[in-house]
A and B are shown apart, each in its own frame.
Chain A
Amino acid sequence: MITFEGAAKRHPDGTVAVEGLDLDGPAGRITVLVGPSGCGKTTLLRMVNRMVEPTSGRVLLNGEDVASLPAARLRRGIGYVIQQAGLFPHRRVLDNVATVPRLLGQDRRTARARAAELLELVGLPPETARRYPFQLSGGQQQRVGVARALAADPPVLLMDEPFSAVDPVVRAGLQEELLRLQSELNKTVLFVTHDIEEAVRLGDQVVVLREHGRIAQCADPHTLLTAPANNDVAAFLGRDRGLRGLGLRPASTVGLLPTGTELHGWRLAVDANGRPEGWERGGERRPAPVFAPAADSLRSALDAAVLSPAGAAVAVDGTGRATGLATRAAVLAALGPSVEEPAAERPATEPTAGEPAGGR
């Protein structure tokens, strides 16, 4: 667990980076610090591994003040991933990943064996090991950066905008990969981003920061999207947050009709294995959008239902076999009887002038 206790950073010239923050980052969870540039989020992250020393207050790791440990030793026990990956250009990928185990005194062979495991864990092919960083794509470099941070199996991982330098498609892949890794490793992660979309996608707990490290709201992503604390947070969250919130809810609660049901004259055609082939009416056949109740969100289910000519999404199981039909009404019914009560103020419908660039 990462604990900030009144952690503040004032620069010698009097400017204030962080005014004094109290925050708990629960063990085994991803806590995302999100906010516009200048909100002090990177400063806060760096207080944890003492790359920034707070001018007052303190930071605790599992109850122990980080200032009580020698900085270099503390850092070897904390994974750190940055935007540009920061790989060492003169070392091959394998030796980049083996860095911290070597610093901790492991012999070369053991450290490299461990590094090879990690490359596999982050989804890099074995031949990458012999390459130099400049021979990799940005996304691959970032994976190596993650592998290097995890090499000594640190319980805590700090990530400073790790995915913001890669294109959106690669970013989405890396985010998915991080969630998969986290479900296996259960690290205590502190993740900094300016991208609210990323924050909501990755965070178990999302901390929206304003200038000087003041907390605007600290909540789980669902609460954040459905009940922003004030207009500023709502504006920062951007448009369509209701719909985006559906992306966080499982589609497994949607009630299904039998696959043979006729809807507005459309019938689902399936192949010999029970996989949907399309909607048929008269001689006409149209594609049948599908969703997987076990894996997808309500948003995916609604999307598939909206796109379907029959007005129903086809639910499929892991093998692609159709298991039922979810009408638009059924998807909406799964939302529950009503939306939660809004917070004290009505959220603004238009983004205000001061909206940060985070949304996109």
Chain B
Amino acid sequence: MDGEPLVRWHWIGDHLGYLRDLALDHAVISLVPVLIALLAAVPLGLLCARLPRLYQPLAAVFNVVYALPAIAVFVVLIPYTGLATRATVMVPLTCYALAVLLPATVDGLRAVPEDVRQAATALGYGPWHRLAAVELPASVPYLVAGVRVAAVSSISLAAVGALVGRGGLGYLFVDGFQRTFPTPIVAGIALVVLLALATDLLLVLARRLLAPWASGGAR
């Protein structure tokens, strides 16, 4: 890359629309899986809280999934979901997010103080009702903390999808390396970080809104 400056600003100026489309695509393929995982993690977590014997095997399965290298999973999925499709990237990302969110949900439910649980029972909540009306809302700070971890790691992992043709901003890295042209790489890094920060900020605001009683306290 001799003589090539790190950033050619005019390239960025010429490709603003392109960069925006990539960023939006990146947001979709990385964050929709987190949302889907959350919708699955809450009922699964509640189930695990009621049936503790279910939790260990489930957690083990998702841990193994989490240990699989992303690129390998993408490649394995191509025959089923197609090359360069959103699904090829989003399916594994959903599994990864679930691997983070299921324990977060279960730990959050378990972290509800025993006296709160006892009081709820004594006031006349049945077991399921208590879970839904007391323990789940009381564990929202834990849940949001889990979502923050899952979202940020999903945003960074999604870039790897570029290697199978669908990586949102990750495409800028592939492009930059192939052309020994650093500008897209730098822009890609900046945008990924920006997306992660913006998402995290939104989640912090969401927690303030959903759990104003935990402001500053629990995470």
Contacts and interface: CB of A to CB of B under 8 A. Distances in A.
A116 B33 CA distance: 44
Nearest to B136: A90
A43 to B, nearest CB: 14
B212 interface: yes
Interface in A79-133: 80, 82-90, 99-100, 103, 132-133
Interface string B111-147: 0010110111111111001000010011010000000
B213 A87 contact: no
A45 to B, nearest CB: 10
Interface residues of A, number: 27
Contacts of A89: 116, 138, 213-214
A89 B115 CA distance: 11
Nearest to B121: A51
Contacts of B115: 82-86
B182 to A, nearest CB: 49
A289 B121 CA distance: 50
Interface in A127-176: 132-134, 145, 148, 158
Given A84-B113, A84-B115, A87-B116, A148 B213 contact: no
Given A88-B134, A132-B212, A134-B217, A82 B122 contact: yes
**Main DSSP-derived SS at the A contact region:** mixed
Given A88-B138, A89-B213, A90-B211, A75 B124 contact: yes
Interface in B170-219: 211-214, 217
B138 A51 contact: no
B124 A88 contact: no
Contacts of A100: 123-124
Contacts of A158: 122
Nearest to A148: B123
Contact of B120 (A73, A85, A88): A88
Contacts of A82: 115, 118-119, 122
Contact of A80 (B116, B122, B140): B122
A132 B218 CA distance: 14
Contacts of B121: 51, 75
Interface in B20-41: none
A148 B120 CA distance: 11
Contacts of A72: 124-126, 129
27 contacts: A51-B118, A72-B124, A73-B124, A75-B123, A78-B122, A80-B119, A80-B123, A82-B115, A82-B118, A82-B122, A83-B115, A84-B115, A85-B115, A85-B119, A86-B118, A87-B116, A87-B119, A88-B119, A88-B138, A89-B213, A89-B214, A90-B137, A103-B123, A103-B124, A103-B125, A132-B212, A132-B213
Given A84-B113, A90-B138, A103-B124, 11 more contacts: A51-B122, A78-B122, A80-B119, A84-B115, A86-B113, A86-B116, A86-B122, A88-B116, A88-B120, A89-B214, A100-B124
Interface of A: 49, 51, 72-76, 78, 80, 82-90, 99-100, 103, 132-134, 145, 148, 158
